[in-house]
Amino acid sequence: MTQSSDKWEGRWERVKGKAREHFGRLTDDDVAQARGKRENLLGKIQEKYGETKEKAEEMLKDFERRHF
């Protein structure tokens, strides 16, 4: 497990509501399905926003800077 994934899993309960607010196109189910896994959330962002993996990564990094 990487340090980044450890950080996500350890803080998921605290930030999952913020993820839902930050990424307005994600549903509660989308956030729940991520289960605290960064890669899962990245995939949901990519899917719901129709972005490339690189753009979704930028969006997720912005979220991390604000909430981690």
Do residues 11 and 21 touch, judged by C-beta distance below 8 A? Answer: no
> DSSP assignment of 5-21, as one string?
HHHHHHHHHHHHHHHHH
What are 56's two structure tokens? Answer: 């979704």
**Per-residue pLDDT tens over the stretch 24-65:** 999 999 999 999 899 999 999 999 999 999 999 999 999 999
Q: What domains appear along the chain, each with residue ranges and CATH number?
A: 3-67 (1.10.1470.10)
pLDDT at 1: 53
Maximum distance among all Cα pairs of the chain, rounded to whole angstroms: 28
CA gap 4, 30 in Å, rounded = 20
- pLDDT top residue among 5 and 1: 5
